[in-house]
Amino acid sequence: MKLYKLPGPLLLNVLFALFSSIQAGPANSKLFREYIGAEDKGVTFSDVPINSNVEFHFILSFAIDYTSSSHPSPTNGNFRVYWDTKNLNHSHVSSIKAQHSNVKVAMSLGGDTINGQHVFFSPTSINSWVRNAIQSITEIARLYNLDGIDIDYEHFKTDPNTFAECIGRLLFYLKNNQVVSFTSIAPYADDSVQPHYLALWKKYGHLIDYVNFQFYAYEKGTTISQFMKYFEAQSLNYNEGKVLVSFGTDGSGGLSPQNGFFEACRKLKSQGKLHGIFIWSADDSKKDGFRYEKQSQNFLAYTK
Ligand SMILES: *[C@@H]1O[C@H](CO)[C@@H](O)[C@H](O)[C@H]1NC(C)=O
């Protein structure tokens, strides 16, 4: 190694690329994840094209700790399934996993709304919320034979530390007892949201495998260079984490495939920083025949 002969900035680049590629690990550069089931559009697992050369995660959306009445209210950690169970029941989970050895299935907790009102994270106390959540989530995870859990609360009635403690203790239990094998969080750039996830990351980041950062929550018309800056900033926030890139097929914001999403992915890949791609959501992609799911997986599987 004659790295000392390289000019300073180049040396740094080389070291940084080396470091990032070690951190990324080869398995994670082919991770494709997709949220499914939140919008009652009748989408099924088998509707979605699955490339056998990627690692594929479906993320059932959502389990929520709210009552199911017409005026839903918080239940302090007693989760119920709110995804489209008619089309996504536990037989469907078993069958898609039996058909595709590269498919794993997770569920996401929280989400934006229930019955048109915001879903709040509003535990009564840390201990009681964690106790109820452990029980209800273990039950759902076993019934549906799930592999992973995703945290997607977007509205909060607690301080960041309470959120961090509740979710951190829950993830600790679920992983330690092999209820699930992987975990993720789904933050986005918002002053009322990020402090909660950053507090969680600071204390319990070692329990979190992926950061499904909602890059589609940035403004519409985001350019490639803006996107690259956002990615850098969030990679710094979630230091040493696997920050996945993302876009929405629901007309939300961020960097769209039409505006260069895959060009940005190419850049990240060449820098050893592409930890995977996720899409919100299968429900929205159905009408276009899942063209971007195909493109994303092709990109992950075959682009050098
Ligand atoms: C799941 O749904 C299918 C219909 O798509 C049905 O035949 C099957 O009985 C359901 N399984 C369970 C466990 O509800």
pLDDT one-digit tens code per residue, 37-72: 999 999 999 999 999 999 999 999 999 999 998 899
Separation in Å, CA 72 to CA 37, 83, 204, 217: 19, 15, 30, 26
What is the band of 303 on the pLDDT scale with cuts at 50, 70, 90? confident
What are the residue ranges of helices labelled H in 100-247? 126-144, 160-176, 194-204, 224-237
164 in Cβ contact with 199 (< 8 Å): yes
Three-state SS at 160: helix
44 Cβ closer than 6 Å to some ligand 1 atom: no
Pick the residue with more confidence: 20 or 128? 128
97 Cβ closer than 6 Å to some ligand 1 atom: no
Separation of CA 98 and ligand 1 centre (Å): 16
Distance of CA 262 to the CA centre of its chain: 19
User: Mean pLDDT over all residues of the chain?
Assistant: 92
- For residue range 190-215, list pLDDT tens digits in order: 999 999 999 999 999 999 999 999 99
Active-site residue, from 34, 55, 139, 154: 154
pLDDT value of residue 13: 52
- For residue range 112-143, list pLDDT tens digits in order: 999 999 999 999 999 999 999 999 999 999 99
19 token code pair: 């470091």
80 token code pair: 């119920």
- For residue range 230-288, list pLDDT tens digits in order: 999 999 999 999 999 999 999 999 999 999 999 999 999 999 999 999 999 999 999 99
Which helix (H) or strand (E) segment is 185 a member of?
Answer: strand 182-185
Nearest to 123 by CA among 88, 153, 80: 153
pLDDT value of residue 21: 44
89 Cβ closer than 6 Å to some ligand 1 atom: yes
Peptide bond into 62 cis (omega under 30): yes
What are the residue ranges of helices labelled H in the chain? 8-24, 90-99, 126-144, 160-176, 194-204, 224-237, 261-270, 282-285, 291-302
